[in-house]
Structure formats: C-alpha cells, structure tokens
Chain A
C-alpha cells in the first residue's frame, strides 16, 4: 500500500511570528497536539529574536520529530537555548546567497545537531538559487525550500516552462543535484531539481498528512491554501481535525481541477499545488499557475 486518507495529520506546520495582538493559548494548543499523534512539528519563528511563545511551545510540546526555523538574526540566540535539546533540526531562514553563507557558517561552527538553510524562493532571489544550492551541497548542509505562505498574502512564484528549463540547467551546472540534500514541497520546483524523478508526495497532501497553524491560531490545510478550517482560539484541535470542512477540502483536492483535463502531464503532477491553484480566484477547478503549461497545449 502507498497512501490513504488519514484521520489525523502526521505533519504540523506552525508559524509563531509575527505575534498577534490576541495571542492563542499556546499551552492549550500544545497539549491538544501532543495527544493527537502528530509525528512531526515544523515550528517557524522568523522574528529578529525568538518569541516567548516559541520557547513555551518548545517547553510544552514533545513530539517524535521537531524542527525549528529561525531568522538569521536570531540564530545565535537559538543555538544556546536550553530548549534546543528537543529540536532535532534547526533551520535558518535566508533571503539571499550572502545571508546563506554567513548563517550557514555559523550553523556549521556552533550546532551539534543537523541544520539546514530555509530559502524562500521568490522572483527577487531566484537568481541566487544555484549559488545557494551549490553552497549547501559543498558544505553538506540541507537546503529546504519552504512552502509558500499564500495564506498570509505572500506572492506566489510561477515560472513558465522556459524559465523552469533555464533554472534546471543553471542548477545542474552549479552543483551535483544527486549529492544535494534538498527538501521541496512544490511539485514544479521538484521537477526543476529532479526532472526525471516523480514528485514523492504524489497528490497534494494538504489537510491529509499535514495541517498548518498561522500566528493567529487559525488552522489551514497547508500554508499555501487559503481555506480556513477553524480557529484554535474558539475550537479544539480535535474538532478541527475531525470537521466536515476538512473532509470537504480533501474531497475537492482528490478531484482533479477541471482546467487540467486533457493535459498529458496530469498523471504526474495530479493537479500540482492545489493551494496555489485555488488562491488566485478561489476556484477549486483552476489549474496551478506554477505548472508553467499553456492551457490547451500538449
């Protein structure tokens, strides 16, 4: 067997910053998540220093796997935290190649745990990606290309087929992609890095293996899908996980978008990033604009 629809997620992405005026009850959420049998928590605090809330969550929540993403400015603080004992992987959020080098060297010098670079790819820093990948490969540091936060209004990166091919060529020229440890959530970025390897996640896993909690305590299928499933200020984690709204999102995701019908690549991409497809016009039948295909073309 390979995949099924799960009753509760195994991966939780939780952004702590920026801190809202009315903060969620971090202790209550942590307690509820702890008993929900989530296996992996990816906590992100990208403020200039680590938030008290992050420390609370790290203190209260024990899960089999916990990763923390911090800003480059907060890296030194994170490295000496006693709470880091519980963090299996420390990632540093970087915006450009220069920052990667500085943060990466600090990470290599001080951390006794696996670390990595979290590089939020955008139009503004796309040209840096081959340099960043080469640096990570050379220093055996994991590169993570995090999911786009379309839920919080981030602009999505959509490359056409020619741009994808050019980037693929520049990456292959810059480093050994086989030797690079890279985590990619976007099926089309995956194809750029691994043109001949099918995307391992298969169909979009939003609201199935993963859920996302934003800084306000609102729960979404994933960071890229702006469909609010509930609020942890008003509902329990269990209520949201078991909700009809979540099941409806899965029903929608499992049906391929109408805009993709007839496309020869749909068996491979399975509709791509469904959050990005939905985000534009709030239509489930829209194609993922990140796929780069021209509608109607083979």
Chain B
C-alpha cells in the first residue's frame, strides 16, 4: 500500500483563531467548509485549507489513504464513503500541485 509523503519544501501555518471560528460556526449549524483554518505555500502558490483539509495535511505523513481515512473517522461524524471521497479529492489536488507524493 502506497504511503503519502508531504513535500518538505511546502511551508504551512495554521491561521490564528480560525479553527475556533470554524468550530463556533459548526455549533451554530453553519457550514465550516468555507472557513480557512490553515494555509500551504510553495513555489509562489498558496492553498487555503478548511478544517478537514488542515487535519488531512497534519496527519497524512507516512500513512496510506485507508489509514488516513480511518484516523479521520475517529474525529468526524460522517459517513465513511463521503469522507473517503472528500479525502481522495483533496489528496488529488495536493498531488497535482506537488504538495504531496506517494511512495
């Protein structure tokens, strides 16, 4: 099973207070998907991540997609198929930008 490797040249940071803002929005029943809580930056390209994206980025190193999805299922109350589809699409975007690779 191939493992995910983050590109070490990618710089990233969590945005101050943004995760709390997203969680507060969720408590109010709002969609947190559009709240940027972290960003990645490499080769002049910036990618802003929502809470799920940030969690994927922070926990993906050295894991297979199955391991990553299993870990995230412990954090998110969501159907596995839906989560897997979101994770797969996001990883494809990261790979397309050269932010991760599989080895």
Interface of chain A, main secondary structure: loop
Q: How far is the CA of A7 from the CA of B36 in the complex (A)?
A: 11
Q: How large is the interface on B (under 10, 10 to 19, 20 to 34, 35 or more residues)?
A: 10 to 19
Q: Is B11 on the interface with A (CB-CB < 8 A)? A: yes
Q: How far is the CA of A201 from the CA of B45 in the complex (A)?
A: 7
Contact of B46 among A3, A7, A65, A183 (CB under 8 A): A3
Least CB distance from B38 to A in Å reads 10
Interface of chain B, main secondary structure: strand
Q: Given A4-B36, A10-B39, A10-B41, A209 and B11 touching (CB < 8 A)?
A: no
User: Which B residues, 37 to 61, have Cβ-Cβ distances below 8 Å to chain A?
Assistant: 39, 41, 44-50, 53
- A-B contacts, CB under 8 A, total: 41
Least CB distance from B34 to A in Å reads 7
Q: Given A1-B36, A10-B41, A39 and B47 touching (CB < 8 A)?
A: no
Asked if B46 contacts A10 (CB within 8 A), the reply is: yes
Q: Is A2 on the interface with B (CB-CB < 8 A)? A: yes
Give the chain A neighbours of B16 by CB distance below 8 A.
7-8, 37
Least CB distance from A273 to B in Å reads 15
Give the chain A neighbours of B49 by CB distance below 8 A.
1
Asked if B45 contacts A200 (CB within 8 A), the reply is: yes
Q: Is A244 on the interface with B (CB-CB < 8 A)? A: no
Q: Is B15 on the interface with A (CB-CB < 8 A)? A: yes
Task: Look across to chain A and name the residue whose beta carbon is closest to the beta carbon of B16.
Answer: A7
Q: Given A7-B16, A10-B11, A40-B11, A200 and B44 touching (CB < 8 A)?
A: yes
Contact of B50 among A1, A10, A183, A200 (CB under 8 A): A1
Q: Considering the complex of A and B, which 6 residue pairs feature the smallest CB-CB distances, nearest first?
A: A39-B11, A4-B36, A1-B48, A64-B11, A4-B48, A37-B13
Additional pairs, 10, CB under 8 Å, beyond known A1-B47, A7-B16: A2-B48, A3-B46, A3-B48, A10-B11, A10-B39, A10-B46, A37-B16, A40-B41, A200-B44, A209-B46
Residues of B within 8 A of A (CB): 11-13, 15-16, 33-34, 36, 39, 41, 44-50, 53
